Amino acid sequence: MSDIKFYKEKHLPLEMHKVRIVQKLNLLPIEKRLENISKAGNNTFLLRNKDVYLDMLTDSGTNAMSDRQLGAMMIADDSYAGSETFYRMEKAVQNFFGKEYFLPAHQGRACEHILAKSLVKEGDVVPMNYHFTTTKTHINLQGGRVEELYKDKAIELVSDEPFKGDMDLVKLENLINEVGAEHIPFVRIEMGTNLIGGQPVSLQNVEDVSSICKKYNIPLMIDASLITDNLYFNKVREERCKDMSIHEIALAISKCADIIYFSARKLGSAKGGGIVVDSKEYFDNMKELIPVYEGFLTYGGMSTREMEAVAIGLEEACDIDMISHGPEFIEEFGRILQEYNIPIVTPTGGLGLHINAREFVGHVKETEFQSAALASAIYIVSGARGMERGTLSEEKNPDGSEHIASCELVRLALPRRVFTLSQIRYIADRLAWLYDNRHLIGGLRFTEEPKVMRFFIGRLEPTSDWQEKLVAKFKEDFGDSL
């Protein structure tokens, strides 16, 4: 009898789908990539997608739809008002979350706008486990402010903490007692925390936060845009959830919340969003704003075809094979990078792989936007477009100085069912080369700096000729290779 062999790839993540439609990609020469990033003001948001090989900017609206979703789009009812498509989507939302009232909106930040306008007033304080850029901006525009109440371990980038997205319960009660419950319109939990590595929140923490909110009569709001990744982590990391179905976990989370909103560009793998509540009072207070800012109550700014796709996408979000794809491929990506000693956030979370730019390019000044500089360098050497998630994504301090981010990250998103393992291995190989030559990377400075959410449309330039030196070294090592 031969010995049993245990191979290196015994935990290889498997695609539980087959590819039947493909799109052509371009991998431009490195000189052209340098030209492109310069024209884009070293802002990966401003790159043209035709010039990108692997678009790892975001998973928002870029996940691959299933055959069932594409088929459903063909039966859309295009009526302006009273569309049957809306009622199919409404039923799917009600089933997924177990709540009665649904208000449609064209995406997640549209929901945030409606919620902030309805609930936040001058001087209010909104506690959350971690902020998201657009959420914070909408609250600030209404005269409120955000207080982040994450646990200290949340920003320990290398750890084995399974739920870094959990809210600190002691900090929450202390803040309520400090500012007064009457000045807190809601407590917000983001599942999971986008800006610190897609880190999940435990069901237990949601229940504990809900208990505190009920004690002080404060609504609990959940941003469920990334909930499918979170549900996967609840299932595999939280002992009490291991015998629960994905839908049972979703309902248990939803039961704790007074208000839920989501971007269907993430949850549902299509384009749209919505607000879900049990309270008719909340529903009535917000429904008048939907026709003003979004569209009529039975489409909310969404295409009916997209609404049909969202309805099916919510059904598929209860399928462990579908929701495991992202986290498992991200984990494998992280494993490969760790073999090269590249600093990443651990444990890996959802949405994408997060590189610790503060450690990767620690020689670059924090005020010269380490994460943005690294994102530019990654595009130059690989053609992959990632996203800065650091100081550039913060707003300046009142005195005009830079507000240095608690975490300085580059996110390489892995939209579901889009990339292959060979593509992941390609970008890992280029990152390994870049890490070995990281001393060549320099900083960036603004040439055009918007006052609000500057990371979207701001333009920057290198503080030296470091990009040309990076290209020269790449060509020296790779020759004419792309």
Q: What are phi and psi of 125, to 5 degrees?
A: -120, 130
Which positions ≥6 away from 481 have C-beta within 8 Å? none
Active site (annotated) includes residue 358: no
Active site (annotated) includes residue 133: yes
Active site (annotated) includes residue 86: no
| HSE toward the beta carbon, residue 163, CA cutoff 13 A | 23
Task: Name the token pair of 181.
Answer: 């419950």
Catalytic residue, from 53, 130, 132, 369: name it: 132
Quick check: helix, strand or coil at residue 302? coil
Alpha-carbon distance of 375 to 444, in angstroms, equals 11
Active site (annotated) includes residue 223: yes
Active site (annotated) includes residue 85: no
CB atoms within 10 A of CB 270: 28
Say how far residue 243 (Cα) sits from the centre of its chain: 27
Task: Name the token pair of 174.
Answer: 């202390």
Alpha-carbon Rg for the chain in angstroms: 22
Q: Is-contact 442 462, C-beta < 8 A?
A: yes
Catalytic residue, from 44, 58, 85, 133: name it: 133
* DSSP one-letter code for 469: H
Alpha-carbon distance of 225 to 272, in angstroms, equals 11
Catalytic residue, from 51, 166, 223, 258: name it: 223
Helices (H), 400-465: 421-436, 454-457
Single out the residue of 44, 46, 27 nearest to residue 373, CA to CA. Answer: 44
Alpha-carbon distance of 71 to 94, in angstroms, equals 22
Which positions ≥6 away from 180 have C-beta within 8 Å? none
Task: Name the token pair of 395.
Answer: 């707003």
Order of strands, edge to edge, in the sheet holding 409-413? Answer: 352-356, 409-413, 387-389
Catalytic residue, from 99, 358, 389, 411: name it: 389
Catalytic residue, from 33, 188, 235, 266: name it: 266
Catalytic residue, from 96, 233, 262, 455: name it: 455
Within 293-436, strands assigned E span 352-356, 384-385, 387-389, 409-413
Catalytic residue, from 39, 80, 145, 477: name it: 80
Active site (annotated) includes residue 465: no
Active site (annotated) includes residue 102: no
Which positions ≥6 away from 266 have C-beta within 8 Å? 59, 60, 63, 108, 225, 226, 228
CB atoms within 10 A of CB 457: 14
Alpha-carbon distance of 127 to 312, in angstroms, equals 33
Which positions ≥6 away from 85 have C-beta within 8 Å? 76, 77, 78, 304, 307, 308, 311
Alpha-carbon distance of 159 to 344, in angstroms, equals 11
Q: Which residues are annotated as catalytic?
A: 80, 132-133, 223, 266, 389, 455
